[in-house]
């Protein structure tokens, strides 16, 4: 997926991101992509879907798909803890939930911290370098829709 | 090039809707009065008002052609109202009125398409004027409204001494042909709002009854404050029907009074006002009086965007679900305290939310009579042409159905009614020959039956000739088995099959054989059915059955492993449990179940979908015999949860990459307790078997 105007703006001016934690690494979404962060709800299994889609959940009266972030990134499976939660992202006005190990923080990012990923249309759009850690900023659409 | 005034696009929907509604009502009134052979005073006034409103709103939109046509129609009734005893050709009048009403309706349909130019109604208007002239005979010509003219215009009254210097004065005069200058003026003022601040106008109240006459006589005076006088002037000059726009200057008191504008033929507004008032007193009950009633004729109805209603419905559904999760929250149980008062309030809340849900659902319900009424017109027109004198009767027209269903019904009803009048009912000669004494009647009826809306169209005509239909079907190559094996039902079903028409001659109304199969397809598309029945010499019945709500379907929910799956009840024939001896496993690993001499393929839902399930023993689970078209099979599930109504929503577009539909899942639905059930598509599931319904 090509860079949207929003991505360009982020690269130039910086902005807020929601960072989260999975398998000892930091990832993040642009805060503008995120609509809710909720506890893990009851997830209804939908047959025939690939294993990384846990199923559907009832989010504010709508049934939306839930993606297991670890499974999606081919990380080893662990049991959900009380810190696991669902980050609800919006893609073209359709929502999807992404189960992550734990949400870390909402962070202000300045342009000099941002490096664009050399892979055009990859799952990671930007790498963000902070003093002690590196955060991969993800494209929610690529996380939810596996186009590979 | 848009057809209507710039800035009015947003009003188009409203205009089309309201005018369409008015025309519909006009048709009803005309039809009724034509039948009763008399036009009462109330009817005349109502028609007059209707035409006046259409004229006004069309003028507002800048649709000159519609406005003048409506004006011509209004004139006709002006004559009738003035002299109720006037002699005229009634049939001719109704023909003209219906033709005009149709023309207006046609124009409405074309409005949104910029490629279709505005229709020229001059010919029709000519006819109406000729008719009006005939009605009036050689009676007095139109009243010369122009009061004393030629007086020199004294502009000083327009400029009070204490008026602010920055206020500029403009005068706009309209062409003679302009039907409602007040409406045009109103549009101008609206447009001006963007570049200037209008402080006052003469006449002050554009809604007033005499505003039109006053503007015609004196032009429209607009006082405003602006930064760009030139732009304002250009804007005014560009207005529709504007003949001339000019800026007036405060006359210099010391200079000669002649130093005025070239427009001098009109009297001053005050004088005109006076003249109008005098006219009013002199001739009570003429033009002004009834007009006053027009704008106040609003009903207590409002128009709401369907989208907003859907939003509201979604919201209410959400509230109901949330309410459930609050009042039955597991946290409450852990509290271990007495919750009497809480429970009482919770019950109250549930009652209220239920009521809320019901009333929101009911907003979308409209009586089918709106669709039925339109058929009156169809039958009337056909009676005129075919001379069959058919009476149209309604039964249960108060039956309320979802708005979307009424919209769907319009077309099929039209086809079926036309068919009934054209093919069903015989000519008067044929009826006499057959010894039928009862008047030819087509009956439209509506009602509910087991969760479906049933609309039927019954005629007491000739009925269908089985032999003739069979012969025709044979000729068209539609037969698939020996003639003698066809049941009556199957034979009659040919009449709604594609490319079938027994009528030797194609008439204006029907006979091409394309209509009915399109009707059938359209009804089936929304999950409905079209059925035919007939009896020779007695008549035919066409029945449309449509599920009550298109989004809510009846399902049988079953449990498979952890999942709840919902099978639409329309596909379910039978639910049963089976004994070991009825179970067959063939050497190829195919499973079958014997049900009353039928050997049916068995589909285990758990295996079909790959859902882990504990129930493997055929005797422990539940069997559901489903059919879809020609195919039938038995589905095997763990247990039945309940039969219920659900709103099936398609899966999120984010999952479009996966073949969920092909696997046999049509969508999912959130139940009252917040859990999710998967809606099954039996047709897709049965595809997997290739099994025949009967073996």
Per-residue pLDDT averaged across A42-67, rounded? 91
**For the ranges A37-41, B100-104, B394-398, B449-453, the one whose mean pLDDT is highest:** A37-41
Query: How much of chain B, in percent, has pLDDT values that exceed 90?
Result: 6
Q: Identify the domain containing residue B501 by its residue range.
A: 366-547
Task: Give B652 to chain A, closest Cα distance, Å.
Answer: 6
Which of B103, B136, B169 represents a domain boundary (last residue)?
A: B136
A60:B665 CB<8 A = no
Q: What is the pLDDT of residues B443-469, one digit of tens each?
A: 999 988 766 788 999 988 888 888 888
Q: What is the pLDDT of residues B211-220, one digit of tens each?
A: 677 776 777 7
- Confidence tier at B247 by pLDDT (50, 70, 90): confident
pLDDT surpasses 80 at B575: yes
Q: How many CB pairs under 8 A join A and B?
A: 76
What does the pLDDT read at residue B144? Answer: 39
Distance from the Cα of residue A11 to its chain's centroid: 18
Give the residue among A139, A136, A134, A135 at the shortest CA–CA distance from A120: A139
Listed range (B27-41, B245-259, B623-637) with the worst mean pLDDT: B245-259
- Confidence tier at B126 by pLDDT (50, 70, 90): confident
What does the pLDDT read at residue B208? Answer: 65
Q: What is the pLDDT of residues B497-515, one digit of tens each?
A: 766 655 554 455 554 445 6
What does the pLDDT read at residue B57? Answer: 81
What does the pLDDT read at residue B1? Answer: 44
Task: Give B357 to chain A, closest Cα distance, Å.
Answer: 14
| Alpha-carbon span B270 to B276, nearest angstrom | 10
Residues B489, B396: one domain? yes
Residue B223 resides in a domain: yes
Place of tokens 């709401």: B304
B676:A56 CB<8 A = yes
B346 vs B550, higher pLDDT: B346
| Alpha-carbon span A54 to A51, nearest angstrom | 7
Which residues of chain B have a CB within 8 Å of the CB of A65? 651-652, 654-655
| Alpha-carbon span A49 to B594, nearest angstrom | 33
Residues B17, B128: one domain? yes
What does the pLDDT read at residue B163? Answer: 63
Place of tokens 């404050």: B225
Q: Is A14 left (phi over 0), alpha (psi -120 to 50) or beta?
A: left
Which residues of chain A have a CB within 8 Å of the CB of B669? 63
A44:B652 CB<8 A = no
Place of tokens 């379907």: B553
Which of B334, B363, B392 represents a domain boundary (last residue)?
A: B363
| Alpha-carbon span B102 to B113, nearest angstrom | 18
Number of domains making up chain A? 1
Residues B527, B606: one domain? no
Residues B177, B227: one domain? yes
Which residues of chain B have a CB within 8 Å of the CB of A63? 649, 651-652, 668-670, 676
What does the pLDDT read at residue A27? Answer: 94
Mean model confidence pLDDT for chain B: 76
| Residue B321 contacts A, CB cutoff 8 Å | yes
| Alpha-carbon span B457 to B447, nearest angstrom | 12
Listed range (B160-174, B454-468, B589-603) with the worst mean pLDDT: B160-174
What does the pLDDT read at residue A31? Answer: 93
Residue B677 resides in a domain: yes
**Which residues 42-61 of A have a C-beta within 8 angstroms of B?**
42, 44-50, 53, 56-58, 60-61
Q: Identify the domain containing residue A23 by its residue range.
A: 5-144
Per-residue pLDDT averaged across A64-75, rounded? 92
Per-residue pLDDT averaged across A74-80, rounded? 88
Q: Which two tokens stand for residue B682?
A: 């039996």
Task: Give A145 to chain B, closest Cα distance, Å.
Answer: 6
| Residue B358 contacts A, CB cutoff 8 Å | no
Which residues of chain A have a CB within 8 Å of the CB of B323? none
Residue B142 resides in a domain: no
Per-residue pLDDT averaged across B358-377, rounded? 82
What does the pLDDT read at residue B141? Answer: 43
B676:A63 CB<8 A = yes
B481 vs B260, higher pLDDT: B481
Task: Give B670 to chain A, closest Cα distance, Å.
Answer: 7
Task: Give B673 to chain A, closest Cα distance, Å.
Answer: 10
**Which residues 104-143 of A have a C-beta within 8 angstroms of B?**
none
Residues B600, B637: one domain? yes
pLDDT surpasses 90 at B384: no
- Confidence tier at A35 by pLDDT (50, 70, 90): very high
Residues B112, B242: one domain? no
Residues B506, B388: one domain? yes
pLDDT surpasses 90 at A98: yes
Residue B105 resides in a domain: yes
| Alpha-carbon span B553 to B546, nearest angstrom | 11
Which of B136, B167, B191 represents a domain boundary (last residue)?
A: B136
What does the pLDDT read at residue B421? Answer: 85
pLDDT surpasses 90 at A86: yes
Q: In what order do the strands lie in the sheet with B168-174?
A: B196-202, B220-226, B168-174, B242-248
Number of domains making up chain B? 5
Q: Which two tokens stand for residue A32?
A: 């503008």
B5 vs B528, higher pLDDT: B528
Please tell me the number of Cα atoms within 13 Å of B357 on its side-chain side. 15
What does the pLDDT read at residue B581? Answer: 85
CATH code assigned at B132 = 1.20.120.160
Place of tokens 């305290």: B337
Task: Give B336 to chain A, closest Cα distance, Å.
Answer: 24
| Alpha-carbon span B523 to B493, nearest angstrom | 15
What does the pLDDT read at residue B567? Answer: 92
Residues B377, B407: one domain? yes
Closest partner residue to B654 among A48, A50, A145, by Cβ? Answer: A145
β pairing state of B242-248 and B391-395: unpaired
Residues B289, B322: one domain? no
Q: Which two tokens stand for residue B237?
A: 């000059």
CATH code assigned at A81 = 2.40.50.180
Residues B381, B351: one domain? no
CATH code assigned at B666 = 2.40.50.180
| Residue B609 contacts A, CB cutoff 8 Å | yes
Residue B3 resides in a domain: no
């Amino acid at each position: 997926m090509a860079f949207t105007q929003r991505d360009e703006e982020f690269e130039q001016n910086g902005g807020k991101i929601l960072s989260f934690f999975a398998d000892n690494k930091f990832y993040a979404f642009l805060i503008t992509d995120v609509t809710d962060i909720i506890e893990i709800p009851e997830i209804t299994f939908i047959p025939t879907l690939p294993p990384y889609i846990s199923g559907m959940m009832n989010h504010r009266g709508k049934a939306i798909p839930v993606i297991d972030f670890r499974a999606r990134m081919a990380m080893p499976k662990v049991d959900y803890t009380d810190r696991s939660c669902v980050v609800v992202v919006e893609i073209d006005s359709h929502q999807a939930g992404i189960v992550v190990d734990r949400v870390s923080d909402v962070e202000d990012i300045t342009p000099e911290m941002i490096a664009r990923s050399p892979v055009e249309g990859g799952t990671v759009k930007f790498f963000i370098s902070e003093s002690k850690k590196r955060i991969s900023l993800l494209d929610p659409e690529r996380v939810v829709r596996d186009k590979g | 090039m848009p057809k209507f005034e710039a800035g009015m696009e947003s009003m188009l929907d409203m205009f089309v809707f309201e005018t369409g509604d008015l025309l519909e009502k006009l048709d009803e009134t005309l039809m009724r009065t034509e039948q009763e052979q008399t036009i009462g005073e109330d009817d005349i006034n109502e028609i007059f008002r209707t035409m006046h409103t259409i004229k006004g709103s069309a003028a507002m939109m800048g649709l000159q052609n519609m406005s003048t046509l409506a004006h011509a129609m209004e004139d006709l009734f002006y004559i009738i109202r003035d002299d109720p005893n006037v002699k005229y050709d009634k049939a001719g009048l109704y023909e003209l009125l219906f033709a005009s009403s149709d023309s207006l309706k046609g124009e409405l349909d074309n409005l949104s398409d910029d490629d279709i130019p505005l229709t020229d109604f001059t010919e029709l208007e000519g006819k109406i004027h000729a008719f009006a002239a005939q009605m009036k005979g050689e009676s007095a010509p139109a009243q010369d409204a122009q009061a004393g003219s030629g007086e020199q215009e004294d502009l000083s009254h327009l400029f009070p001494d204490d008026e602010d210097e920055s206020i500029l004065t403009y005068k706009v005069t309209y062409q003679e042909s302009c039907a409602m200058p007040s409406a045009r003026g109103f549009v101008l003022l609206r447009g001006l709002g963007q570049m200037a601040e209008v402080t006052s106008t003469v006449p002050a109240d554009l809604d007033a009854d005499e505003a039109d006459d006053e503007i015609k006589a004196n032009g429209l005076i607009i006082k405003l404050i602006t930064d760009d006088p030139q732009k304002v002037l250009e804007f005014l000059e560009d207005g529709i029907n504007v003949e001339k726009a000019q800026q007036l200057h405060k006359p210099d008191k010391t200079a000669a009074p002649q130093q005025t504008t070239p427009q001098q033929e009109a009297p001053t507004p005050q004088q005109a006002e006076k003249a109008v008032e005098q006219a009013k007193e002199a001739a009570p009950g003429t033009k002004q009086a009834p007009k006053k009633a027009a704008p106040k004729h609003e009903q207590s109805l409002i128009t709401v965007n369907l989208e907003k209603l859907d939003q509201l419905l979604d919201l209410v559904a959400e509230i109901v679900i949330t309410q459930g999760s609050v009042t039955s929250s597991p946290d409450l149980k852990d509290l271990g305290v007495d919750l009497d008062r809480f429970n009482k309030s919770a019950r109250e809340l549930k009652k209220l939310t239920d009521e809320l849900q019901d009333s929101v659902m009911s907003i979308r319900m409209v009586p089918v009579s709106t669709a039925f009424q339109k058929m009156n017109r169809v039958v009337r027109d056909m009676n005129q042409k075919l001379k069959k004198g058919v009476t149209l009767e309604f039964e249960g027209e108060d039956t309320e159905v979802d708005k979307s269903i009424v919209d769907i019904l319009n077309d099929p009803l039209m086809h079926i009614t036309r068919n009934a009048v054209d093919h069903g009912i015989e000519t008067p000669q044929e009826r006499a020959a057959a010894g039928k004494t009862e008047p030819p009647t087509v009956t439209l009826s509506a009602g509910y039956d087991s969760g479906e809306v049933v609309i039927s169209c019954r005629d007491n005509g000739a009925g269908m000739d089985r032999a003739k239909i069979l012969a025709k079907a044979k000729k068209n190559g539609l037969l698939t088995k020996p003639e003698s094996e066809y049941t009556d039902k199957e034979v009659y079903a040919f009449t709604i099959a594609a490319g079938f028409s027994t009528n030797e001659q194609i008439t204006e109304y029907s006979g091409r054989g394309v209509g009915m199969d399109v009707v059938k397809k359209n009804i089936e598309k929304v999950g409905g059915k079209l059925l035919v029945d007939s009896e020779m010499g007695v008549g035919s019945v066409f029945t449309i059955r449509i599920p009550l709500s298109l989004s809510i379907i009846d399902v049988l929910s079953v449990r498979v492993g952890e999942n709840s799956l919902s099978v639409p009840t329309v596909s379910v024939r039978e639910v049963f449990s089976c004994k070991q001896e009825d179970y067959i496993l063939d050497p190829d690993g195919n499973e079958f179940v014997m049900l009353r001499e039928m050997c049916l393929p068995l589909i285990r839902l758990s295996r079909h979908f790959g859902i882990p399930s504990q129930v493997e023993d055929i005797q422990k689970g539940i069997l559901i015999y489903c059919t879809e078209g020609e195919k039938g099979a038995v589905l095997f599930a763990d247990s039945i949860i309940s039969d219920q109504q659900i709103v099936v929503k398609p899966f999120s577009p984010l999952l479009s990459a996966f073949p969920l539909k092909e696997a046999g899942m049509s969508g999912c639905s959130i139940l009252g307790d917040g859990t999710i059930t998967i809606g099954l598509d039996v047709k897709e599931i049965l595809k997997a078997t290739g099994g025949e319904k009967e073996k």
